[in-house]
Amino acid sequence: MNRKLLDLWVGFFVAFGIAALLFLALKVGNLSSANFSETYALQAKFDNIGGLKVRAPVKSAGVAVGRVGEIRFDPQTYEAVVTINVDARYHFPKDTFASILTSGLLGEQYVGLDVGGDEKLLQAGDVIAKTQSAVVLEKLISQFLFSKASDGPDKK
Amino acid sequence: MTRVTEWVSGLGHVVNEKIARLGFAARFFVMLLVYSGQSFRRFPLTIREIYFSGVLSLLIILVSGLFVGLVLGLQGYETLQRYGSADALGVLVALSLTRELGPVVAALLFASRAGSSVTAEIGLMKATEQLTAMDMMAVNPMARVVAPRFWGGVISMPLLAAMFSAMGVFGGYLIGVVFIGVDDGAFWSQMQSSVDFRQDIINGVIKSFVFGVAVSLIAVFEGYDSTPTAEGVSRAITRTVVTSALAILALDFVLTSFMFRGL
Amino acid sequence: MSDSGSLVKISGLNFSYDERPVLRGIDMDIPRGKVIAIMGGSGCGKTTLLRLIGGQLKPTHGEVQVAGHAVDRMGHDELYALRRRMGMLFQFGALFTDMSVFDNVAYPLREHTSLSEELIRDITLMKLSAVGLRGAEALMPGALSGGMARRVALARAIALDPLLIMYDEPFTGLDPISLGVIGQLIRRLNDALGATSIMVTHDIHESLAIVDYIYFMSGGRVVAQGTPDEIRASKDPFVHQFVYAEADGPVPFHYPAPPFGKELLGKGAV
Ligand SMILES: Nc1ncnc2c1ncn2[C@@H]1O[C@H](COP(=O)(O)OP(=O)(O)OP(=O)(O)O)[C@@H](O)[C@H]1O
Ligand SMILES: [Mg+2]
């Protein structure tokens, strides 16, 4: 086979392969959108994080503003310490409220930030004071059943 | 009684032989790496092998990738829509492909398409004394024949796996969005928010690279070590395909348990 | 280059494949500039002997010296440096099947010289012309007849103008005309290059015409030797059997085996 033609084919092949890799990285993966270049870390303590995972999104008003960086168990307070990396473009007031929410009924869990009214802003390394834990479906159901059972006879 | 001792000593013999072969394979791998430097100085040889292992495998890889994507799209939709989360179809298709199916299926196809022909070629070159002739001409067959074929395979494999995955995602898109009517925006945005570049894409590429090394090494070794007869070469080809498949699946298990632990 | 005496010196050479001895105590002394023929029955170890000289196999006992150095004690680089000065025609040609005839012959030149492509082309065509196959340069080895393939292999073996040329049965598969031409070519090449040639062959009459010295081998030993004139005049039974192609004689036609009658009666008779 002609050497030039062979080089040409191999060139096409490699270019095509790299294009496929780029497609996977940019269009399929999150390299383009959700990798915030500059971030600062905040911490939030929860009694229960449910099924929250590392790299889960952090959203405010439904817009992704960061990602969960680290999840740790604090043996002193028996709480979960969640480190979130927030895009450096966004700043939030001191009294921002962090809660663990679920997208849809069975969707993945994420951290929602509800903005407060404080003048002072959270700085890197600060701890978010006000948090709300994840809603654990099993607990909810058992609570519901208990309350039904306890006030069941009166209703009938 | 004698039959039992015969059987035991026969077994011992077989085990001995296998271990000796493994030792030879390890020595072979080291030699291969040592002579790779020489072979890179003649890079056109490797380019030629990329053509034979990579370019000529393109068709089967692209077509299979498309079909795997179509099937994933159909089956995934069937299941997801029962739970009302058909929007997550993109996630399902993309994660299955980039993490598992892309590297594994592409490597299996690569082993039977390119690995077998590498074994056949080297085996026949050995059987017809071409390797000996080269050695007598003071040209090292390890550097001129074995190493280019090995590196050709190692370079081709990750590219082929990426194309397989990309084609599969396209197949899933075709079925899900174009034919069934899943929302276009949801398909891509959910996929992007759940497929992580480092965790999923890069790990997939690492997998396909490891498979590329394993399959190429098995293929060149089986060819080099084949008995120089027609029967010996055909047995070596069979061994290449079987051993490669086992190695791919076993390595996949090991790599997966390292990469995706705790996710 | 050290002395003008012998180029290849083989002393007390023994060789076994696994447990089976093939060569048992060979002594040969091959002077520079000569053409030597090695003859012997099929399977008596001639190809093996050439491989030992080329350093592909290591002797079990004894030694092979080429240009004053023991081949089996050479390192990889030293051996390759030696082989660059050796040409070998393989018994079955061993052409590279993925290259054209031209590229096959040009291969050693491209590997070991930094000549321009034009010069390589000239040399290659010259070598091909010497074996009468200049017109076949573009063919692939698969498209050659057996005799043509061996002639291409011969052209490749002499591409680098080696000092020591080993031919493993250069005459098999050649018609009488090419046989004569190739025989003369081997002789002329040797004299023109000042090379030394070792030729394994079964063709006694052609060899008697061109070689300087002949060794007869049987059962892994040298059983007779001499110049062509001595051989023609020899009364040695081995030599006689070879020269007159007799089936019965000291050279066994059969591979060693138990008596046929005993095997035919076999186990049933026991
Ligand atoms: N790779 C091998 N392994 C084991 N035995 C071998 C091997 N190669 C050759 N032999 C044996 O060694 C002996 C000599 O073989 P060799 O090829 O040197 O013979 P030869 O003289 O060249 O014969 P011919 O004239 O038929 O080519 C034979 O009996 C053969 O069976
Ligand atoms: Mg022979």
Q: How far is the CA of B102 from the centre of ligand 2 (A)?
A: 51
DSSP letter assigned to residue B199: I
Structure tokens at A34: 């959700």
Mean pLDDT of the residues in chain B: 90
C266 has a pLDDT exceeding 60: yes
Give the residue, C245 or C7, on which the prediction is more confident: C7
- CA quadruple B95, B101, B104, B109: dihedral sign: negative
Task: Answer whether residue C250 is part of any domain.
Answer: no
Q: Which residues surround ligand 2, an ion (CB under 5 A)?
A: C 47, 91
Q: Encode pLDDT of A23-53 as tens digits.
A: 888 888 776 655 556 788 888 888 888 878 8
Over B138-186, what HEC string results?
A: CCCHHHHHHHHHHHHHHHHHHHHHHHHHHHHHHHHHHHHHHHHCCCHHH
Mean pLDDT of B94-122: 94
**Distance in angstroms (rounded) separating the CA atoms of residues C120 and C105:** 10
> Which residues of chain A neighbour B98 with C-beta distances below 8 Å?
24, 28-29
Q: Encode pLDDT of C93-119 as tens digits.
A: 889 988 899 999 999 998 888 888 889
Q: Encode pLDDT of C174-198 as tens digits.
A: 788 888 888 888 888 888 888 899 9
Domain ranges of chain B: 35-259
Task: Provide the number of structural domains found in chain C.
Answer: 1
Task: Answer whether residue C238 is part of any domain.
Answer: no
Strands C213-218 vs C221-226: parallel, antiparallel or unpaired? antiparallel
Structural domain that includes position C50: 6-232
Q: How far is the CA of C56 from the centre of ligand 1 (A)?
A: 14
Residue C2: the pLDDT is: 43
Least confident of B3-12, B45-54, B218-227: B3-12
**Distance in angstroms (rounded) separating the CA atoms of residues B247 and B234:** 20
Residue C179: the pLDDT is: 84
What is the number of other CB atoms lying within 10 angstroms of the CB of residue B14? 10
Residue A154: the pLDDT is: 55
Task: Answer whether residue C153 is part of any domain.
Answer: yes
What is the position in ligand 1's atom list of the atom closest to the CA of C20?
A: 5
Structure tokens at C183: 């025989």
The minimum CA-CA distance between A132 and chain B, rounded to whole Å, is 24
What is the band of C3 on the pLDDT scale with cuts at 50, 70, 90? very low
The minimum CA-CA distance between C92 and chain B, rounded to whole Å, is 8
Alpha helix segments (H runs only) across chain B: 2-40, 43-53, 58-82, 89-95, 102-110, 116-127, 130-136, 141, 147-173, 184-194, 203-224, 230-259
What is the number of other CB atoms lying within 10 angstroms of the CB of residue A31? 19
**Distance in angstroms (rounded) separating the CA atoms of residues A68 and A10:** 42
Which of B52, B131, B135, B137 is best to mutate for the C interface (most C CBs within 10 A)?
Answer: B137
**ipTM of the shown complex:** 0.84
Give phi and psi for A76, each to the nearest 5.
-75, -50
CB B197 within 8 A of CB B94: no
**Distance in angstroms (rounded) separating the CA atoms of residues B90 and B171:** 11
pTM recorded for the entire structure: 0.81
| Cα angle, residue B36 at apex, residues B33 and B40 outer, rounded to 5° | 155
Within C1-142, strands assigned E span: 6-17, 20-31, 35-40, 61-66, 69-70, 86-89
**Burial tier of A80 (Cβ tally within 10 Å: 0-12, 13-18, 19+):** buried
Domain ranges of chain A: 1-32, 39-143
Q: What percent of chain B is modeled with pLDDT above 70?
A: 98
Q: How far is the CA of B41 from the centre of ligand 1 (A)?
A: 37
Question: Which CATH number is C133's domain given?
Answer: 3.40.50.300
Q: Encode pLDDT of C115-137 as tens digits.
A: 888 899 999 998 888 888 888 88
Q: Encode pLDDT of B157-198 as tens digits.
A: 999 999 999 999 999 999 999 998 888 888 888 888 788 888
Task: Answer whether residue C270 is part of any domain.
Answer: no
Please work out whether the CB of residue C43 comes within 6 Å of at least one atom of ligand 1. yes
**Burial tier of B139 (Cβ tally within 10 Å: 0-12, 13-18, 19+):** buried
Partner residue opposite B129 with nearest CB, options C92, C107, C111: C92
- CA quadruple B10, B11, B14, B15: dihedral sign: negative
Task: Answer whether residue C108 is part of any domain.
Answer: yes
Which range among A53-62, B7-16, B203-212 has the greatest average pLDDT? B203-212
Give the residue, C238 or C198, on which the prediction is more confident: C198
CB B123 within 8 A of CB B218: no
Residue C270: the pLDDT is: 46
Residues with Cβ within 8 Å of B150's Cβ and at least 6 positions away in sequence, in order, are: B32, B36, B216, B217, B220
Q: What percent of chain C is modeled with pLDDT above 90?
A: 7
Q: Encode pLDDT of B79-91 as tens digits.
A: 988 887 888 888 8
Q: Given a contact as 3+ CB pairs under 8 Å, which chains touch C?
A: B
Residue B1: the pLDDT is: 62
What is the band of C171 on the pLDDT scale with cuts at 50, 70, 90? confident
Closest among B138, B134, B153, B139 to B218, alpha carbons compared: B153
**Distance in angstroms (rounded) separating the CA atoms of residues B173 and B222:** 40
Least confident of B102-116, C171-185, C245-259: C245-259
Kindly determine whether residue A53 and residue B50, on different chains, have CB atoms separated by under 8 Å: no
Task: Answer whether residue C102 is part of any domain.
Answer: yes
What residue of B is the nearest CA neighbor of A32? B192
Partner residue opposite B166 with nearest CB, options A12, A20, A53: A20
**Distance in angstroms (rounded) separating the CA atoms of residues A135 and B117:** 58
